[in-house]
Amino acid sequence: MPNHHDLANLIWQIADLLRGPYRPPQYERVMLPMTVLRRFDCVLAPTKVQVLRKHAQVKDKYKDEALDKVLNRAARQRFHNHSPLSFETLKGDPDNIDKHLVSYVKGFSSNIHTIFDFFEFETEIEKMREANILYLVVSKFCEVDLHPDSVPNEQMGLIFENLIRRFNELANETAGDHFTPREVIRFMVNILFINDNDLLTTPGTVRKLLDPACGTGGMLAEAQNYLREHHTGARLYVYGQDYNKRAFATAASDMLIKQVDHNGGGDNVRFGDSFIDDQFPEERFDYFLTNPPFGVDWKKQQKEIQREHEKLGYGGRFGAGLPRVNDGALLFLQHMVSKFELVLPKQHKYGSRLAIVFSGSPLFTGGAGSGESNIRRWIIENDWLEAIIALPELMFYNTGIGTYVWIVTNRKEKKRKGKIQLLDVRERFIPMRRSLGDKRRKIGEGKEGEPDQIGDIVKLYGRFVSNEQSKIFDNADFGYTRVTVERPLRLRYDLSQPSRLHLLEDKEVEKLGEERGVELAEALGTLSGYAPFHDDARFLSTLVTRLSFRISKGLMKSIRATLAAKDASAEPVRDLNPDDLPLPDFEALDDWEILPDPALRDYENIPLKEDINEYFRREVIPHVPDAWMDRSKDKVGYEINFNRHFYKYTPPRPLEEIDADLKKAEEEIMRLLREVTA
C-alpha cells in the first residue's frame, strides 16, 4: 500500500500539466476538485450498478432531496452519482470530454454538486479544454488509485491535507486567510482538551466543535486527529462555516473524504457569513477553535450587526459592544460565546472551551467605554478568560506580526477561578529550513529531531505557576476606572482692550434690541478705565449694577467668551445664576460650584483594586492641588498590556565600553580609507 506522501507527490506531479495556462498559485483551482472527484469516483465504484438500477426505478417517483436519500442508501454513502459515466468511460470520447465531465459532475447528489459549484469547476473545465489539456489531466488522474481498499479514509485525509498545505504555500500571499500552520493548530488543540481526559474517556462520549471561520477546514481536521490519537472511544462532531467559496468547498470536500463523525445528514460544513448568515443559529457547542482573519473590516455587515446589537442587546450575540469597523476579530469571539453550552452536569452539559488566534489589537485597542474595552470587560467580569498565550513572531504565512491565543471558557478549574494566566512563549521556536511566505519559524513538535516545544508549553500551561514565562493575575488586575480630572476655569477681564467691540456684534446682544444694546455698550465703557478684574463674579456683579435689565445665561456666556482671557492667577469661575446678580456677599461664593476649564480636563486610569479617593489624594493632588474629580463621568475599562508584564529592563552599557567601540570603528574606517587612497 503506497503511503500518503507518495500519492500526494504523484498528484502533485500532475499539476505540472497545468503549467502555462495556469500560474502555480492557481493550480489548486484544478487539482483540489480533481482529487475530490477521483476519490468520490473510487468510493462509489463498488455500488455504481446498484445506484444506476435504483435511479432507473425511482427517478419518476422521487425528486430532489427525497431522491437523494433513496440513492444515497443504495450507494451506502452520504452521497451518490447516478451518471452512467465514470473516470474510465470519460476517456472514451476525447473530443467531447468537457461535455461528459460536466454531465458526470451534475450526476452527483445535491450536497456534492453544490461543492463543485463553489469550486467553480465548470469554468476550469472550459479553461482546460481551450488549453487542450483536459483529456490529459483526466487520463493521468485515472492512473491514481484512490479506492478505499487501497487508501483508507484516514490516509486519504492526510493526502488531501498535504495538497491543501502545498497549494496554500504556493499562494502564500493569501494563505494565512485560509490556512493556519499545523503546529499552531496542534498546540491550540492540546490546550483546548487539556483538562478533559476524564470526560473524553467516558464510554459513549459525544462532543461538538465549531469553527465559524473554518477556511479549508484544517482546525476541524486536526481536532479530529487529536481525538483519534488520544480518545478512540469518544466521538467529536465537527462543524464549520466560511464565506470564501473555494475555502468552503475545500473544507466540505475534506470532511466528506474523511467521512468524519457527524450528527445528521453530514452537512457539517456550511457556506455563509457567520456575522449575518449564521448557519447554526440554535446550536450550542462544547468546543470552539478558530483563526479569524486579522484586521478584517465589517462595513458590509455593519447595518445588520448594529441592528442586532441595539434591538437584542445581550439577548443577541453582540450585546457586550461593537469594536471599531476596521477590525471585527472580537465579533467572532462574541459570536462563539453566544453558543456556549450551559454548565449542567446532571444533564450531561459541561460548558464550553474556546481557543482563538488574535493579533495584539484586541488586547488593548479602545479606551474605557469603547466597544473593545466593553467586550473585554464582559469576558473578564464573567470570569470566562482563562489564559492568553503570546506566540513567536513570523509564525504565519501572510504576516510577521505578533499573535496571541486566547483561551475562553465558562467552566474554569477551581484553581483558575477569578484568575487569568499570561504565557510568553515568544522565544520557544525553531527556525525553518525554508521560509514559506512570512513564515520563518515553527514551534517544535518533537518529530524528526525537533524539540517537543508544544509539549513543554502545554505542561507550563497546566502547572499554572508563576515564573518568567507564566504570570498569574486576578481578573481585577486588568480593570481600571477612567476618572475625569477637572481644574477650575480662571478668567481675567481687561476692558481697556478692544474685545468689547466683538461682544457688541454678538447675536446675544442683538437679541437685547437697540436700546439695551446701547446701554450695555455704555456700561462697558464706564468700566474701561478700571484695573483688570481677576474675579469673574466681581466683574459680572459690577457690570449688572450699571444695567437696568437682567442679563441672560446666554449673554453671560458670550461675555465670558469675548471679554475674558484665561489667567492662572485669577479666581475660579463660579457657576452663577444671572438672577442672583449682583452678589451681595462675595464670601458666600464658596457655596457655588466651580466651573471646570475644558482645556485643562484630564483623565486618570485608576486600577480597580485601588481606593479611588486615596489614589487621587496620593497621585494627583501633590502635582495639581486645585484639581477635583467629576465622578459622574466615571467609566470602567479593561486592557491587557501584555508586554508590560513581561518587560525585562536591560541597563545601558557603560560609557567607557561605548567609547572604546566607537574608537575601534573610527580606526577601522581610517584603515580602509588609507587602503583606498593608497
pLDDT tens-digit map of 91-144: 888 889 999 999 999 999 998 888 899 999 999 999 999 999 999 999 999 988
Classify residue 504 as exposed, middle or buried by CB count within 10 Å of its CB (0-12, 13-18, 19+): middle
Q: How far is CA 413 from CA 351, 389, 404, 409, 410, in A?
A: 12, 18, 22, 10, 10
List the beta bridge partners of residue 403: 359
CA angle 89-30-133, nearest 5°? 60
Q: Mark out the alpha helices in 171-328 (DSSP H runs).
A: 175-178, 182-192, 197-200, 218-230, 245-258, 302-312
* Per-residue model confidence as pLDDT tens digits over 552-605: 888 889 888 888 899 999 999 998 888 888 887 777 677 778 999 999 999 999
Other CB atoms within a 10 A radius of the CB of residue 27 amount to 22
The whole-angstrom separation of Cα 252 and Cα 79 is 12
Assigned C-alpha cell, 101? 465531465
pLDDT digits (tens, 9 = 90+) for 288-343: 999 998 878 899 999 999 999 999 999 999 999 999 998 999 999 999 999 999 99
Residue 2: the pLDDT is 59
By the 8 A CB rule, do 607 and 480 touch? yes
Is the separation of the CB atoms in 405 and 188 below 8 Å?
A: yes
**Radius of gyration in angstroms for the set of CA atoms belonging to the chain, rounded to a whole number:** 36
pLDDT at 425: 94
Instruction: Name residue, grid cell 485669577.
Output: 570
**% pLDDT > 70, the chain:** 95
**Bridge partners for 270 per DSSP:** 241
pLDDT by residue (tens digit) across 245-287? 888 888 888 777 765 555 445 578 899 999 999 999 989 999 9
CA distance 401 to 451: 24
Does the pTM surpass 0.95? The reply is no
What does the alpha-carbon distance between residue 268 and residue 281 come to, in Å, rounded to a whole number?
13
What is the distance between the alpha carbons of residues 607 and 510, in angstroms, rounded to a whole number? 51
Return the closest-CA partner of residue 333 out of 363, 368, 375. 375
Angle (CA) 255-257-258 rounded to 5° is 65
What own/partner pairs with CB < 8 Å and gap ≥ 24 does 49-57 have? Answer: 50/74, 50/75, 51/75, 51/80, 51/81, 51/82, 52/82, 52/84, 55/82
Which SS3 state, helix, strand or coil, does residue 261 take?
A: coil
Cα–Cα distance between 262 and 555 in angstroms, integer? Answer: 75
Confirm if 154 and 191 have CB atoms less than 8 A apart.
Answer: no
CA distance 224 to 232: 10
Task: Tell me: cis bond preceding 152? Omega within 30 of 0 counts.
Answer: no
